Structure 1
């Protein structure tokens, strides 16, 4: 199986597009505060990216330029990781994007009505509850992320199998020559 860097980069790009879309909607709301479309986009994307941008703004200053640089640096790093030959950095890009998406959904789910609330009791007897957000949007993003990670695994295993077969052929040729 030949590695397709664009497919490996698709899910990290989706997560970066969600973060960039929220920042763009924020800029548009500053310029056109009466735009219903900008408000709709902002309200849809804000729950997922609120905590991330709050941390970036707190640590690096409240500048949209810094936010754009962070997004550009992440996109370049992911693009290069998906194009590196003879390495598994594309694993890192996709799996970190999936973990990040899960965290964004978990944090954003606290500001919305959760569809499932499960109460558990720990072995020590301490009760706690778990809130999970299973909206269509969140489920679709997690499904896409899982598919992207599965594609990474299939690609990596196919490359490893091809390398093993090539090594076996070389070893057989050496044994025949000796």
Structure 2
């Protein structure tokens, strides 16, 4: 199996486009507040990204230009990481995107650990509970992230197997010569 950089970049691109789409929708709402399409897009993307961007805007001073520059820089870094040969950077890009998606979902749905929705007991016997909103959209994003990470693992292991087979054949040829 040959590693396909476009497939490795697909999930980080999805997460970055959700973040960028929410920023663009927010900008359009400021420019055209009566547009029903801008409101619809913003309301669809808001649960996945707004709470995260509120924190980012608080830290950076609320500049849309800085937000766009950050998204562009992260996109370029992820694209370059997914095109590197024989490295673990695609793992890093996909796994960071999955962690970011999980964080966005947890923060965006106001997840808390002090609810009575799902109670667990830790190995030491301390009870705690966790509430996360697993809507269809959130579950689909997490499922796509898990599939993207699995593809990274499969592609990397297939390349490692091919390299080891090639190394064994080279050693056999050297021995025969």
In structure 2, what is the equivalent of residue 93 of structure 1? Answer: 93
Report deviation, 1:25. 0.5
Stretches of structure 2 lacking an aligned partner (at least 5 in a row): none
Give the equivalent residue in structure 2 for 1:68: 68
Following TM superposition, the consecutive aligned residue runs of length 4 or more in structure 1 with deviations greater than 6 angstroms are none
What is the number of residues matched between the two proteins?
173
Give 2:154's aligned residue. 154
Q: Secondary structure at the match of 1:128?
A: strand
Structure 2 match to 1:33: 33
Cα deviations by residue, 1:41-69 (Å, 9 ceiling, x for unpaired) = 11221122123212221222211000000
Instruction: Name the SS for the 2:85 alignment partner.
Output: coil
RMSD value over aligned CA atoms? Answer: 1.7
The answer (yes or no) to whether the contact 2:21–2:45 under 8 Å persists in 1 is yes
Give the structure-1-normalised TM-score: 0.90
What's the offset of the Cα at 1:85?
Answer: 1.2
The normalised TM-score by structure 2 is 0.91
1:57 alignment counterpart? 57
Residues 85-104 of structure 1, C-alpha deviation per residue, up to 9 Å, x if partnerless?
A: 12120010011111111111
Quote the offset at 1:143 in angstroms: 1.0
Residue 104 of structure 1 is matched in structure 2 by 104
Q: Does 1:12 align with 2:12?
A: yes
